[in-house]
Amino acid sequence: MKSKKKIMLAFGTRPEAIKMAPIYHCLKDNSNDFEVLVCVTAQHREMLDHALNTFDIKPDIDLNLMTPGQDLFDVSAGVLLGMRNVLNDHKPDILLVHGDTTTSLFSGIAGFYQNILVGHVEAGLRTHNLHAPFPEEFNRQALGRVVHWHFAPTKLSRENLLREGVDKNQIAITGNTVIDALYLVLERIELNPHKRHSIQDYLSEKLSFKWMSDKFILITGHRRENFGDGFLNICNAIKILAKRFPMIRFVYPVHMNPKVQVTVRDILGNLSNVHLIQPLDYEPFVYLLKYCYFVMTDSGGIQEEAPSLAKPVLVMRDLTERPEGVEFGTVKLVGANQDMIISNVAELLEDEGIYKSMSMAHNPYGDGKASNRIIDILKGA
Ligand code: UD1
Ligand code: UDP
């Protein structure tokens, strides 16, 4: 009888969990071929647990690494040492890591040190500037040197890898698993009126306005390179906009990083049309994305999700590793620059032509079948 391949998924933060969840379920559905193990580093704790809960994933191993206000050294050392023991104990045939976090890089290195074949999901995204985003651009470039399979979401990400000398036989264009996750959740909400109503009730409890009919802008922000002046500029811009457009609501689920929390609450805490709320579970977040007028963010994943729902995105960064949305015109880079943020938000609110031109449904990131393609490749390995 053919023996099953032992696949370990290692991840640690909210976006990794969301984007690995469809692969996890696909592997489970193919249990004749695969034994699946999930190791979470818990680089994030609460935000990771929300995503695990949403996607019904029960980790086999939990390194429980998060400490409040951790720095890159804490997480890097914790993951590398933690994964040494995990890989020694469980000896997977294949290790899958995702994207560009500290968990991803140091889990990948741990796999490489132990001669385990590593697959990189969401490979080949590049800004070509090691400081933007920091340290994520370094993390994904460095991971590219140690992994065996590069699962590139788009043609462009494949080209980036080829330019770096990666063997074409080790790269596959799969689409991004975030679209699998998004479709899964949208379908669940669509097909289950009970779930829909409970999400609506939950959001109505959090938001003290008519969010299903009033115009609101959805905001997120957490990038390290924006800490300091960048975040001050972003928050001051939102404050000025909130005063200039009193009929518009600004909804901001604030990332749990204390560096983000302090600045955001300090500058935006007392404005009646700015709604600062806790990070949302993925299902209510996606639902809110469907209802918002547009998005202001420095997040990576939201740049991929919002255009699928025909929502314009203003990206509060100078560079993006996801230029496909910018090229199509649904995403615009405005920097962490106060004047640019204000003028672009005002334009979207006041100029219907520009709003319409940015709100076309566009999805260059996948068709919802990325996980199946990855699993097919692993079956043939
Ligand atoms: C990390 C990733 C970033 C990713 C982001 C997703 C790195 C270097 N950064 O950044 O690429 O875009 O996650 O959100 O890997 N915290 C909590 N509870 C949580 C999560 C975070 O309290 O559930 C607080 C803790 O004080 C923690 C701090 O946030 O120490 C920072 O978390 P960390 O993972 O180091 O950085 P992020 O900015 O979240
Ligand atoms: N997200 C969420 N709740 C929130 C904010 C974001 O579930 O309150 C989801 C979002 O839909 C996306 C992911 O979290 O899938 C993005 O995470 P984040 O912005 O923290 O990280 P990045 O994508 O920048 O690495």
Ligand 1 closest atom vs CA 279: 23
Q: Where are the alpha helices (DSSP H) in 207-332?
A: 229-244, 258-268, 282-291, 301-305, 323-328
Order of strands across the sheet with 294-297? 274-277, 249-253, 216-220, 294-297, 313-315, 331-333
**What is the average per-residue pLDDT within 127-139?**
97
Percent of the chain with pLDDT over 70: 99
Ligand 1 closest atom vs CA 99: 11
Residue 84 CA to ligand 1 centre (angstroms) = 22
Catalytic residue check, 190: no
What pLDDT was estimated at residue 360?
A: 86
Catalytic residue check, 164: no
9 within 8 A of 36, measured Cβ to Cβ: yes
Q: Counting ligands in written order, which one lies closest to the CA of residue 51?
A: 2
3-state class (DSSP) for residue 53: helix
**Would the pLDDT of 14 be above 60?**
yes
**Would the pLDDT of 91 be above 70?**
yes
Catalytic residue check, 120: no
The domain 5-176+367-379 belongs to what CATH superfamily? Glycogen Phosphorylase B; (3.40.50.2000)
What pLDDT was estimated at residue 2?
A: 65
Catalytic residue check, 122: yes
What pLDDT was estimated at residue 363?
A: 86
**What is the average per-residue pLDDT within 69-84?**
97
Distance CA 348, CA 320 (A): 20
220 lines ligand 2 (CB under 6 A): yes
319 within 8 A of 335, measured Cβ to Cβ: no
**What is the average per-residue pLDDT within 97-117?**
98
Q: Which of 272, 269, 274, 233 is nearest to 250 (CA)?
A: 274
Catalytic-labelled residue, pool 14, 120, 255, 373: 255
Catalytic residue check, 150: no
Distance CA 248, CA 206 (A): 17
Closest-CA residue, ligand 2 atom 19, reads: 299
**What is the average per-residue pLDDT within 349-368?**
93
Q: Per CATH, the architecture of 195-359 is what?
A: 3-Layer(aba) Sandwich (3.40)
pLDDT category of residue 312 using cuts at 50, 70 and 90 = very high
The pair of structure tokens assigned to 81 is 């040492």
- Interior/surface letters 255-291, b for 16+ CB within 10 angstroms, e for the rest: bbbeebeebbeebbeeeebbbbeebbbbbbbbbbbeb
Catalytic-labelled residue, pool 148, 224, 318, 376: 224
Q: Which of 7, 14, 102 is nearest to 55 (CA)?
A: 14
Same fold, 5-176+367-379 and 195-359: yes
What pLDDT was estimated at residue 381?
A: 84
Domain regions of the chain by residue span: 5-176+367-379, 195-359
Q: Which of 228, 207, 333, 326 is nearest to 272 (CA)?
A: 207
Residue 224 CA to ligand 1 centre (angstroms) = 9
Measured from CB, residues less than 6 Å from any atom of ligand 1 are: 13-15, 43-47, 66, 68-70, 75, 100-102, 135-136, 222, 256-258
Mutate which of 11, 13, 14, 184 to test ligand 2's pocket (most atoms within 8 Å of Cβ)? 14
363 lines ligand 2 (CB under 6 A): no
Q: Where are the alpha helices (DSSP H) in the chain?
A: 14-29, 46-54, 72-90, 102-113, 136-146, 155-163, 177-191, 193-206, 229-244, 258-268, 282-291, 301-305, 323-328, 338-350, 352-358, 370-379
| Per-residue pLDDT tens digits for 183-226 | 999 999 999 999 999 999 999 999 989 999 999 999 999 999 99
**Strand 274-277 to 294-297 pairing:** unpaired
**What is the average per-residue pLDDT within 57-64?**
98
Closest-CA residue, ligand 2 atom 13, reads: 15
Residue 77 CA to ligand 2 centre (angstroms) = 25
What pLDDT was estimated at residue 362?
A: 79
For the chain, give the mean pLDDT.
97
What pLDDT was estimated at residue 3?
A: 86
| Per-residue pLDDT tens digits for 239-293 | 999 999 999 999 999 999 999 999 999 999 999 999 999 999 999 999 999 999 9
Catalytic-labelled residue, pool 150, 222, 223, 317: 222
237 within 8 A of 193, measured Cβ to Cβ: no
What pLDDT was estimated at residue 1?
A: 56
Mutate which of 53, 66, 282, 297 to test ligand 2's pocket (most atoms within 8 Å of Cβ)? 282
pLDDT category of residue 333 using cuts at 50, 70 and 90 = very high
The pair of structure tokens assigned to 77 is 């050392």
**Would the pLDDT of 298 be above 80?**
yes
Ligand 1 closest atom vs CA 71: 35
What are the CA-CA distances from residue 285 to residues 44, 150, 183, 272, 367 (Å)?
A: 18, 29, 14, 21, 21
Mutate which of 48, 182, 285, 298 to test ligand 2's pocket (most atoms within 8 Å of Cβ)? 285
Distance CA 151, CA 162 (A): 13
11 within 8 A of 33, measured Cβ to Cβ: no
Residue 302 CA to ligand 2 centre (angstroms) = 6
